[in-house]
Amino acid sequence: MQVTTYPLAGVVEITPRIFADDRGAFLETFSARQFAEAGITETFVQDNLSISKKGVVRGLHFQKPPFAQAKLVTVIAGKALDVVVDIRKDSPTFGQHATCILDAEKRNMFYVPIGFAHAFMVLEEGTVFTYKCSNYYSKESEGGLLWNDPALGIDWGIVNPLVSEKDEILPTLAELDSPF
């Protein structure tokens, strides 16, 4: 397992070792011991999966306390641009973002700690995106940021993505009253 750290504290990319031969391939997708060595000690309680068309943007989402969630995200088919934004008020990197290309062939994962807004953009048709959550979903605890807020400076690489009505009316960073 290879661990790549990012400038935003707690955000890491994990790339598992893939053992391939003429039969196919084998890899470990989760090892509590190895993840703890990488600083990921959450107990994951819920798995989610979405299937999306190319050009879809989902997010930037987060859950407010007491239902705040850390996430371990990956794609099992296709490719996606994954994006996290630090929304921890006292963080020296507040408002900054990091991106990672999640690729089903590479089988890499991206760890999103509590206190980050999260989104992804689908780069290939029929991408299957899955993620583990450290807390259960609560509609009352939903929060988010406007995906295309110019203050965030995120390069989505697309002009007119397919975005839900709900995601189009989320607050900007300047309007956000961060719960973290």
| Catalytic positions | 61, 131
Q: Where are the beta strands (DSSP E) in the chain?
A: 2-5, 12-15, 19-21, 24-26, 46-52, 57-63, 71-77, 79-86, 97-103, 109-112, 116-122, 127-133, 142-144
Q: Which two tokens stand for residue 172?
A: 């900007």
